[in-house]
Amino acid sequence: MTKQKYTFPKRFLWGASTSSHQVEGSNYNQWSEWEDTNALSLSKKAIYRLDETPVWDDIKSQAIERDNYISGKAVDHYNRYEKDFDILNQLNMNSYRFSIEWSRLEPREGEWDQKEIDHYHRYFEALKKRKITPVVTLFHWTTPVWFAEKDGFERKANVDYFVRFARKVFAEYGAHLRLVCTLNEPEIYVGKGWLDEDAWPPAKHGSRIGAIKTSLNLISAHKQVFAAARSSSRRIKIGIANNVSNYYAADDSLKTKSAMKLKRYISDDLFVDRIKKHVDWIGVNYYFSNKYLNGKEQNENKRVNDLGWEMLPDNIEHVIMRQWQRYKKPIIITENGVADQGDQYRKWWIAHTIDAIHSAMKRGARVEGYLHWSLLDNFEWSYGKWPRFGLVAVDYKTMERTIRPSAAWFGKVVGNLRKG
């Protein structure tokens, strides 16, 4: 790939993403509580849950340890953010997506923690100093414990607490805010927390009513935060990060097509359709392609990442086109990446992804940024620490950071593309 081959708009955002709970460390929220209760059983289940992953032999000793499932210090980004932002500069990036941890700002109901508020002030300043545009997520699946104890987003009256938190963020950090993402992948949060067997907090598996109530409350939360942003500043542009897969039918039968379309509607469209008049931009998180054949999902899995997820990076073009045609809003790729401890696929994945984004833009889609998941190796929810999504490898013992070869290459490509 050369700079001659591509031109991207001057203001295109090139960067990487993280979320507080996955990188900062020392969080106390509903997820850390859940880890304490569930880490041991996850470590015991590892053998039958993970033995089919392609890297089982390498990760086994880690995956059967309880400690793998405790976020703990994570990669200590809370204390090392200045150095991590230097890496963004080194990689020629101009943007960074992260979440502000509500449980830090409001550890007890109605009590704001000034020390933590100041921390994020310094954090924003550190980005500004390095000319990095923040993309700020307000909810990346973690909440204060007191909020979870009141039934969190499942209870309508609780939405007010989240809106109050959002207002606080706007009031404190408004000068730094341009791109704000209200919710990260609400449909995944609801699916994992209320429907799936492979439970996440609050682990109410099978509670369809709870899932519906929570979804409706999240829709309302999003709309209210959108209104609060509008009354706070016209500069703030509100988006949502949607986990969008490339669903496709591999045969022409009605059964296959209708199964595929139903799944696609429920997973990709249902939520965003309801808030589409209340967003300025759409965030696309792309990881999956799902092939339908004989009425069922049947992936070929020719090439899979360390988690066993099929890798078809080019299909992001279809996903972008579909989101563009459906919503006609600017798109930011808010997440996209691979679990790849050997760094054997990342460069290939990124090269194909940039290519595909460029094609979609040539076809008319307005894409305004590409934020890779993740800047750093991170705590991967119920899988714990072994999956390696980072452009930057982190040694969990020493916390030493090492730029992976794919990232060094990506940084050069970004440098060239930004020169135009």
Number of neighbouring beta carbons within 10 Å of residue 30:
24
For ligand BGC, which is the closer residue by CB, 117 or 203? Answer: 203
187 forms part of the interface with ligand BGC (CB under 6 A): no
Helix axes 208-232, 159-173, angle to 10 degrees: 30
35 forms part of the interface with ligand BGC (CB under 6 A): no
137 forms part of the interface with ligand BGC (CB under 6 A): no
Contact region for ligand BGC (CB under 6 A) — 82-90, 112-120, 180-188, 409-417? 180-188
Nearby residues of 102 by Cβ (< 8 Å), 6 or more positions away = 29, 138, 139, 142, 143, 144, 147, 162, 165
Q: Return the SS3 of 99.
A: strand
Helix axes 405-419, 346-362, angle to 10 degrees: 30
Evaluate whether 93 touches 374 at the Cβ level (below 8 Å): no
Q: How far is the CB of 172 from ligand BGC (least distance, A)?
A: 24
Q: How far is the CB of 374 from ligand BGC (least distance, A)?
A: 7
243 forms part of the interface with ligand BGC (CB under 6 A): yes
For ligand BGC, which is the closer residue by CB, 74 or 417? Answer: 74
State which of positions 324-383 bind ligand BGC (CB under 6 A). 335, 373, 380
Contact region for ligand BGC (CB under 6 A) — 184-192, 229-237, 345-353, 354-362? 184-192
Nearest to 89 by CA among 15, 37, 10: 15
Of 185, 187, 340, 368, the one binding ligand BGC (CB under 6 A) is 185
For ligand BGC, which is the closer residue by CB, 368 or 380? Answer: 380
Of 38, 103, 133, 184, the one binding ligand BGC (CB under 6 A) is 184
Evaluate whether 161 touches 220 at the Cβ level (below 8 Å): no
d(CA 317, CA 361): 9
19 forms part of the interface with ligand BGC (CB under 6 A): yes
Name the token pair of 259.
């199964």
Q: How far is the CB of 420 from ligand BGC (least distance, A)?
A: 31
286 forms part of the interface with ligand BGC (CB under 6 A): no
Q: Identify any residues that bridge with 238 across adjacent strands, giving them in sequence order.
A: 180
DSSP for residue 101: -
Which amino acid makes up residue 156? K
Q: How far is the CB of 387 from ligand BGC (least distance, A)?
A: 7
Nearby residues of 164 by Cβ (< 8 Å), 6 or more positions away = none
84 forms part of the interface with ligand BGC (CB under 6 A): no
Write the Ramachandran bin of 241: left for phi over 0, alpha for psi from -120 to 50, otherwise beta.
beta
214 forms part of the interface with ligand BGC (CB under 6 A): no
Q: How far is the CB of 90 from ligand BGC (least distance, A)?
A: 23
267 forms part of the interface with ligand BGC (CB under 6 A): no
- Residues near ligand BGC, by CB under 6 A: 19, 22, 184-185, 188, 243, 285, 335, 373, 380
